[in-house]
Amino acid sequence: MTPALKVSHVSKSFGAVQALANASFEALPGQIHAVCGENGAGKSTLLGILMGVIEPDAGEIALQGQVRSIRDPAEAQSLGIGLVSQELSIAPHLSVYDNIWLGYRAVPLLHRRKYLAARAKEVMEAIGLNSISLTDRAGSLSIGEQQLLEIARMLIRNVEVLLLDEPTATLSDHEIELVFAALKRLRDQGKTIVLITHRLGEVLETCDRVTVMRNGADVWSSPTSEVDRPLLVRHMLGRPLDELYPEGETGSACQPGLIVESLSVQGHVSGLSFAAPKGHITGIAGQIGSGAFMALRAIAGLRYDATGAASSWGRDFRLGSVPAALKANVRFVSEDRAAEGVFLKLKASENLYATQLDTVVERGLIASSRVHEHADALAGMVAFDTARLDARCQDLSGGNQQKIAIARSVVPGEACVLIMNEPTRGVDVGARADIYQTLRRLCDVGYTIVMATTDMEELIGLSDVIVTMYRGRKVNQYSRGEVSRDRILMDITHSAG
């Protein structure tokens, strides 16, 4: 069978940095083909070349057996290649109909609206959006439905090769199911789908073939039917990895590091109570909109309308107050590291002392000797390469940015309550392994960690205690080893009867 897309010996350098080095792979019609690799493996550069945003230094690209030169995104689309990026480009105040046709150069100035509406509806039905009206405002759709709308926009342009960059990074489990159901329908219609993802479960459960990239080159490719998780991880990291998740706590819980009683946030959380044990990781499970994320923001003092009671290490602290939470040694790591986690334009070292200025100040001035000492200590705690402390955070990978966000919340010599929303969102598997090890080490020195995650595998693999939520309320609580994935899904979708 002739490949729908064939990349042959493509290379690209940016100055002294070799982003792609003789990379090759091919994707067949009627297949979902995953491309995996750590941050910096060359995946984004490859997508840029395929879309005509980046010009390769060497190599060639063939579509349906014909070698093509792709000079810009418009030409890529005219050749049948479309990209749905991780960041949505929906115009929220326009209708679904307008979003589908927006920017399509083939639409004439005097167009036939009836024909275009019929064509748009046809595409919507092809990806399972039958219940959505073309007149609905795009901003009223769920994030998952907006992601499908992005795909519909590409299909209306007669795309045959669909590139998707981390399409499920911000979606709930239900929304992920919608997206993959649509992709499977497109695969069955003969479309070629190239999926960039860090979620290995998606690769093994949904994709037909996987290619692993490392250091700018393709290093391995295989049908997913012949792959298991340890094999895939080993090829991605270039070294054996016996277990992605470090051994957790299975014994009886010790004293609570955090107690939350009757926590409520109007419209989001209602009467939530739980105890998080010292030295353990407590995972809060719930779909997007369940109130899990909002509950943790409230505990950290970021919702001023929060009511209820909370105590850390036996000391009560006031909800709805960031200073009160900090005084109680409760620290928060946001799911949005770019907006709330790190200062992107500051150096990594500057980020590390920005929240703990008292540790680096002498006589009212910042002491460089203390800065280096403090930064080195925190970097070591989160497995961050100290040689990169002078790099600006905007130039770091997502995994390294997340390590800095976590390190900012660590207080050397003290045990804290660490609150985290989506601790590894947009982080590659190698950095995930480092972060998981870091969290377990923090538990070993007495930290209490409470996290909310929509990644079911992460939730089960990392949590010692799991609290399930549905529509703002607690459903159940389980200890490690007591609960299955199916049981959790029943709780968070309220399908237990």
Q: How far apart are CA 145 and CA 151, in angstroms?
A: 10
State which amino acid sits at residue 106: A
Give domain status of residue 440, yes or no: yes
Provide the pLDDT for residue 251: 56
**Total of domains in the chain:** 3
- Residue 422 and residue 392 share a domain: no
* Strands ordered across the beta sheet of 192-196: 81-84, 161-165, 192-196, 31-36, 209-214, 217-223
Give domain status of residue 337, yes or no: no
- Residue 112 and residue 18 share a domain: yes
Query: Where a domain ends, among 237, 256, 278?
Result: 237
Helices 485-493 and 173-188, packing angle to 10 deg: 110
- Residue 253 and residue 229 share a domain: no
Give domain status of residue 171, yes or no: yes
Burial of 283 (0-12, 13-18, 19+ CB in 10 A): buried
- Residue 147 and residue 277 share a domain: no
- Residue 217 and residue 353 share a domain: no
- Residue 417 and residue 361 share a domain: no
CA distances to 130, 268, 317, 392, 457 from 94, rounded to whole Å, are 19, 27, 45, 37, 36
CA distances to 242, 351, 408 from 340, rounded to whole Å, are 34, 12, 12
Q: How far apart are CA 347 and CA 372, in angstroms?
A: 12
- Residue 450 and residue 303 share a domain: yes
Give domain status of residue 339, yes or no: no
**Tokens 């749905």 sit on residue:** 84
Give domain status of residue 369, yes or no: yes
Provide the pLDDT for residue 112: 67
- Residue 362 and residue 325 share a domain: no
Q: What is the pLDDT along the chain (497 residues), one digit of tens a residue?
A: 899 999 999 999 988 778 899 999 999 999 999 998 877 788 889 999 999 999 999 999 999 999 999 999 989 988 999 998 877 788 999 999 999 988 887 776 666 678 888 888 988 888 888 888 999 999 898 878 888 898 888 888 888 999 998 888 767 777 788 888 889 999 999 999 999 988 888 899 999 999 999 888 888 999 999 998 888 888 887 766 556 788 877 655 578 999 999 999 999 999 999 999 999 999 999 987 899 999 999 999 999 999 999 999 889 999 999 999 999 999 999 988 888 889 999 999 999 888 877 777 777 777 777 888 888 888 888 889 888 898 988 888 888 899 999 999 888 778 899 999 999 887 877 788 889 999 999 999 999 999 999 888 889 999 999 999 999 999 999 998 888 888 998 899 875 44
Provide the pLDDT for residue 269: 95
**Tokens 């009627």 sit on residue:** 30
Give domain status of residue 309, yes or no: yes
Provide the pLDDT for residue 497: 47
For residue 452, which of 295, 284, 332 has the smallest C-alpha distance? 284
Query: Where a domain ends, among 195, 216, 237?
Result: 237
- Residue 300 and residue 428 share a domain: yes
- Residue 227 and residue 274 share a domain: no
Query: Where a domain ends, among 201, 219, 237?
Result: 237
Q: CATH number, domain at 31?
A: 3.40.50.300
The residue segments making up the domain with residue 453 are 245-329+413-497
- Residue 405 and residue 417 share a domain: no
Q: How far apart are CA 265 and CA 270, in angstroms?
A: 7
Q: Name the H helices within 189-268.
A: 200-206, 229-237
- Residue 133 and residue 57 share a domain: yes
Give domain status of residue 336, yes or no: no
For residue 202, which of 167, 230, 162, 248 has the smallest C-alpha distance? 167
Give domain status of residue 264, yes or no: yes
